[in-house]
Each structure stands twice: as C-alpha cells, then as structure tokens.
Amino acid sequence: MAMRREADARSCDVAGCDEVSERSLNIKQVVDTGMSLKDPEARTVHLCREHYKEYKKISKSSRKLDSIY
Ligand SMILES: [Zn+2]
C-alpha cells in the first residue's frame, strides 16, 4: 500500500481485464502460463491483483520454469 503511486497506475495487460495493475513481470514469464495478453509485443506485462494470483498459481504448478533458470 505504501509504495502505491497513482501516477504509475496502469491497467492490467490481460485481454479483457481493466483492473488497475499491481505487478509487472517479464512477458516471457507470463506467456509461459498461457494467459492471453492485450499486447503480445510488449516486454513487460502488468497484472492486476487477481491475475497475478492466477499467474503465481499457474507458474507454481509448472516445473518447466524451474528447469530453465
Ligand atoms: Zn487482470
């Protein structure tokens, strides 16, 4: 909460979602989860709270990410 800066507020980059984003991630991490994005060309993906939760859930269940890094 304390780090919140309204000037930086952006909407979530997941297709069909207009929530305010809370996190930004490298697009490769997000594409790996199979989530569909508004702008697949972007380097950074902004996720709202709900989609970040979803992202974490998906990425946790795939061991693929661990083996790459
Ligand atoms: Zn969202």
Global pTM? 0.74
The pLDDT assigned to 60 comes to: 81
How far is ligand 1, taken at its centre, from the CA of residue 28, in Å? Answer: 17
For residue 64, the CA-to-ligand 1 centroid distance in Å is 23
Mean pLDDT to the nearest integer, 10-32? 94
**For residues 50 and 29, what is the distance between their CA atoms, to the nearest angstrom?**
16
Eight-class DSSP state of 18? -
Nearest one of 30, 9, 28, 33 to 20, comparing CA atoms:
9
Please count the other Cβ atoms lying within 10 Å of the Cβ belonging to residue 49: 13
Q: 38-59: per-residue pLDDT in tens?
A: 998 999 999 999 999 999 999 8
> 19 alpha carbon to ligand 1 midpoint, in Å?
5
Question: What pLDDT digit, counting tens, does each position of 3-18 carry?
Answer: 555 556 789 999 999 9
Whether the per-residue pLDDT at 19 is higher than 90: the answer is yes
